[in-house]
């Protein structure tokens, strides 16, 4: 054994303790840390010929790279839709690496059984029936991609062909209709050989990001043959929701696959005050929910549900003699793009086991309350202006005067020590979004971040 490996093996317990202490110090300091540190990235170093073991690597990481890392795990990183990591989820993720299972088939230990338990908990959490079979994937993009891959195979079934066998070309032109689709839907269609051009944007309701069901029905009537509808349950700009019940009724009259992108909006199901927003979701043919956002597990986790696991297996089936004939279509190797994969379920399992439905409902309700509170403050602030009502956890606002992208960047740059927001454009107006999905965020964070935002409003509206 290489001497550095041998030395680390002997010292493994004490080395892991020092890594734990290092991680603990990072997490203890995260609230004081600049949310987006203003340090320059170090120059990339060459490959070390001799590395000197874990302690040397930890020191190098701490000195060169850690200072520039964002406090995205902390309570005031509100850009994109960014969850944090609950204590139990962190433990689950650490243990995922420690036990390093590749539970892709039933030839392995009990890992797949644990995953199925976690998926059944998630199904209950989101109020879904047992007909919705779940798989874990690396994120909502992959979840949307898998859902749309199953949709593609369903289109084939309707037309008497199998895209999984014959290629996507066997379908001819495909139409995927959606009101305010997330960018990952177009990316998925590109990956699936259906093409970005297959995405048809349908008009939304006036002043909303929710699809207009009348316009959708008109679009369905102009088409010929089966198609796909992507419903949006939680849009990134304004947290708006399509009327899922209305879409399910439309499916009774028109031949389409209903996929719901509920990447973060699916968590509306957790609270009686918001559950109506996802009414009807269970009737969908496929559903995407991210876990590394509002469930607060570390990155690399989303769930994908579908009522047609048989079609899913047709797409992702992976047969090889050395993988064994055992197992069934439910083996994860036959359900997702990856073959070998980490025991991704463990972090979700830990956080659900530790805090239950009640603990996660509290996170969702507190995030929604924080969003409403920030919106109310912005409504009363002279320099700022709300652009959309808060429906869930996203606050979309802009400068009251001359809201250019440059002036908004000046604002976020100045406030970056205290709060991180990401830019967008809402109904043609350059804007900012604050998305609440971190388990640590409280009203005190809203107050301090709001003060920082007010102090950062650029003064002279005529400059820039
Ligand atoms: C975040 C998000 C996605 C993509 O999720 P990733 O986890 O980044 O792959 C898709 N749809 C919606 C609505 C999202 O918010």
Q: Name the residue with the closest Cα to ligand 1, atom 3.
A: 140
Q: Are residues 382 and 317 in the same domain?
A: no
What's the pLDDT score for residue 462? 53
Neighbours of 313 (CB within 10 A): 20
Neighbours of 201 (CB within 10 A): 13
b vs e for 258-296, b when ≥16 Cβ sit within 10 Å of the residue's Cβ? bbbbbbbbbbbbbbeebeebbbbbbbbbbbbbbbbbbbb
State in Å: Cα 291 to ligand 1 middle. 10
Distance, CA of 25 to CA of 90 (rounded, Å): 15
Q: Are residues 239 and 123 in the same domain?
A: yes
Q: Are residues 202 and 311 in the same domain?
A: yes
Q: Are residues 227 and 284 in the same domain?
A: yes
What's the pLDDT score for residue 106? 78
- The strand pairing partners of 430, in sequence order, are 425
Q: How many domains does the chain have?
A: 2
Contacts for 406-415: CB closer than 8 Å, 24+ residues apart: 406/464, 407/458, 407/461, 407/464, 408/432, 410/456, 410/458, 410/464, 411/453, 411/456, 411/457, 411/458, 412/456, 414/455, 414/456, 415/449, 415/452, 415/453, 415/455, 415/456
The finding on whether 290 has its CB within 6 A of some atom of ligand 1 is yes
Ligand 1 atom nearest residue 235's Cα: 13
Going by C-alpha positions, the residue among 164, 94, 147 that lies closest to residue 318 is: 164
Torsion of CA 339, 344, 346, 350, to 10 degrees: -160
Distance, CA of 85 to CA of 296 (rounded, Å): 5
Q: Would you say the C-alpha torsion 264, 269, 270, 273 has a positive or negative sign?
A: positive
> pLDDT tens track of the chain, all 464 residues?
999 999 999 999 999 999 999 999 999 999 999 999 999 999 999 999 999 999 999 999 999 999 999 999 999 999 999 999 999 999 999 999 999 999 888 788 899 999 999 999 999 999 999 999 999 999 999 999 999 999 999 999 999 999 999 999 999 999 999 999 999 999 999 999 999 999 999 999 999 999 999 999 999 999 889 999 999 999 999 999 999 999 999 999 999 999 999 999 999 999 999 999 999 999 999 999 999 999 999 999 999 999 999 999 999 999 887 776 555 667 888 999 999 999 999 999 999 999 999 999 999 999 999 999 999 999 999 999 999 999 999 999 999 999 999 999 999 999 999 999 999 999 999 999 999 999 999 999 999 999 999 999 998 755 44
Q: Are residues 325 and 267 in the same domain?
A: yes
b vs e for 211-234, b when ≥16 Cβ sit within 10 Å of the residue's Cβ? bbbeebbebbeeeeebbbbbbbbb
Q: Are residues 109 and 240 in the same domain?
A: yes
Whether 346 is covered by a domain: the verdict is no
The answer to whether the beta carbons of residues 286 and 306 sit under 8 Å apart is: yes
Distance, CA of 22 to CA of 447 (rounded, Å): 30
Q: Are residues 263 and 161 in the same domain?
A: yes
Q: Are residues 191 and 55 in the same domain?
A: no
- The strand pairing partners of 306, in sequence order, are 133, 286
The answer to whether the beta carbons of residues 177 and 227 sit under 8 Å apart is: yes
Whether 137 is covered by a domain: the verdict is yes
What's the pLDDT score for residue 107? 80
Whether 283 is covered by a domain: the verdict is yes
* DSSP of 38-78: --PPPPPPPPPSS--HHHHHHHHIIIIIGGG---TTSTTB-
Whether 242 is covered by a domain: the verdict is yes
> Final residue of a domain: which of 316, 341, 366?
341
Neighbours of 169 (CB within 10 A): 9
State in Å: Cα 263 to ligand 1 middle. 5
State in Å: Cα 177 to ligand 1 middle. 18
Whether 347 is covered by a domain: the verdict is no
In the chain, the N- to C-terminal Cα span, in Å, equals 62
The finding on whether 300 has its CB within 6 A of some atom of ligand 1 is no
Which residue of 236, 237, 391 sits with most ligand 1 atoms within 8 Å of its CB, as the best mutation to test the pocket? 236
The answer to whether the beta carbons of residues 403 and 430 sit under 8 Å apart is: yes
Distance, CA of 462 to CA of 379 (rounded, Å): 23
Q: Name the residue with the closest Cα to ligand 1, atom 5.
A: 140
The finding on whether 287 has its CB within 6 A of some atom of ligand 1 is no
Whether 147 is covered by a domain: the verdict is yes
Q: Are residues 110 and 186 in the same domain?
A: yes
Whether 60 is covered by a domain: the verdict is yes
Q: Are residues 173 and 203 in the same domain?
A: yes
State in Å: Cα 215 to ligand 1 middle. 25
* Cβ-proximal residues to 87 (8 Å cutoff; 6+ apart), any chain: 354
State in Å: Cα 289 to ligand 1 middle. 8
Whether 6 is covered by a domain: the verdict is no
* Cβ-proximal residues to 44 (8 Å cutoff; 6+ apart), any chain: none
What's the pLDDT score for residue 319? 83
Q: What is the CATH number of the domain that holds 307?
A: 3.40.640.10
- What pTM, to 2 d.p., does this model score? 0.97
The finding on whether 445 has its CB within 6 A of some atom of ligand 1 is no
Q: Would you say the C-alpha torsion 151, 155, 158, 163 has a positive or negative sign?
A: negative
Q: Are residues 303 and 200 in the same domain?
A: yes
Q: Are residues 121 and 232 in the same domain?
A: yes
Which residue of 286, 290, 293, 435 sits with most ligand 1 atoms within 8 Å of its CB, as the best mutation to test the pocket? 290
What's the pLDDT score for residue 328? 62
> Final residue of a domain: which of 341, 375, 400?
341
- Retrieve residue 396's tokens: 């979309």
Domain enclosing residue 196, as ranges: 102-341
The finding on whether 93 has its CB within 6 A of some atom of ligand 1 is no
State in Å: Cα 107 to ligand 1 middle. 32
Distance, CA of 430 to CA of 366 (rounded, Å): 28
Q: What is the CATH number of the domain that holds 417?
A: 3.90.1150.170
> Final residue of a domain: which of 341, 368, 400?
341
The answer to whether the beta carbons of residues 185 and 199 sit under 8 Å apart is: yes
What's the pLDDT score for residue 461? 57
């Amino acid at each position: 054994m290489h001497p550095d490996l041998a030395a680390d093996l002997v010292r493994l317990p004490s080395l892991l303790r020092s890594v734990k202490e290092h991680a603990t110090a990072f997490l203890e300091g995260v609230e004081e840390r600049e949310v987006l540190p203003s340090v320059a990235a170090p120059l990339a170093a060459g490959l070390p010929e001799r590395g000197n073991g874990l302690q040397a690597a930890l020191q190098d990481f701490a000195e060169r790279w850690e200072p520039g890392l964002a406090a995205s795990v902390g309570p005031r990183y509100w850009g994109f839709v960014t969850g944090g990591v609950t204590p139990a989820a962190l433990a689950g993720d650490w243990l995922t690496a420690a036990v390093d299972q590749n539970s892709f088939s039933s030839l392995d230990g009990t890992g797949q059984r644990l995953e199925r338990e976690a998926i059944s908990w998630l199904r209950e959490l989101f109020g879904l029936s047992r007909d919705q079979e779940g798989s874990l994937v690396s994120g909502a993009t992959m979840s949307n991609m898998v859902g749309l891959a199953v949709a593609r195979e369903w289109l084939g079934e309707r037309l008497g062909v199998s895209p999984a066998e014959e290629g996507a070309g066997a379908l001819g032109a495909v139409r995927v209709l959606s009101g305010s689709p997330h960018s990952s839907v177009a990316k998925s269609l590109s990956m699936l050989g259906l093409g970005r051009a297959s995405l048809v944007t349908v008009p939304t309701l006036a002043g909303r990001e929710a699809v207009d069901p009348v316009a959708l029905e008109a679009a369905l009537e102009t088409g010929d043959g089966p198609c796909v509808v992507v419903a949006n349950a939680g849009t990134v700009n304004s947290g708006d929701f399509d009327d899922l019940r209305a879409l399910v009724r439309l499916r009774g009259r028109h031949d389409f696959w209903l996929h719901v992108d509920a990447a973060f909006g699916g968590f509306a199901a957790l609270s009686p005050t918001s559950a109506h927003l996802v009414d009807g979701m269970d009737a969908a043919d496929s559903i995407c929910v991210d876990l590394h956002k509002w469930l607060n597990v570390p990155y690399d986790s989303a769930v994908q549900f579908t009522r047609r696991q048989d079609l899913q297996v047709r797409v992702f089936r992976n047969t090889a003699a050395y993988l064994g004939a055992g197992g069934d279509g439910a083996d994860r190797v036959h359900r997702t793009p990856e073959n070998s994969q980490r025991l991704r379920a463990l972090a979700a399992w830990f956080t659900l086991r530790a805090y239950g439905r009640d603990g996660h409902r509290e996170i969702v309700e507190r995030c929604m309350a924080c969003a409403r509170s920030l919106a109310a403050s912005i409504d009363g602030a002279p320099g700022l202006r709300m652009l959309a009502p808060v429906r869930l956890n996203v606050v979309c606002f802009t400068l009251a005067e001359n809201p250019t992208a440059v002036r908004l960047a000046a604002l976020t740059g100045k406030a970056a020590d205290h709060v991180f927001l990401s830019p967008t454009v809402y109904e043609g107006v350059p804007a900012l979004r604050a998305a609440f999905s971190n388990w640590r965020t409280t009203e005190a964070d809203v107050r301090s971040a709001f003060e920082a935002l007010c102090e950062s409003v650029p003064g002279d509206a005529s400059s820039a």
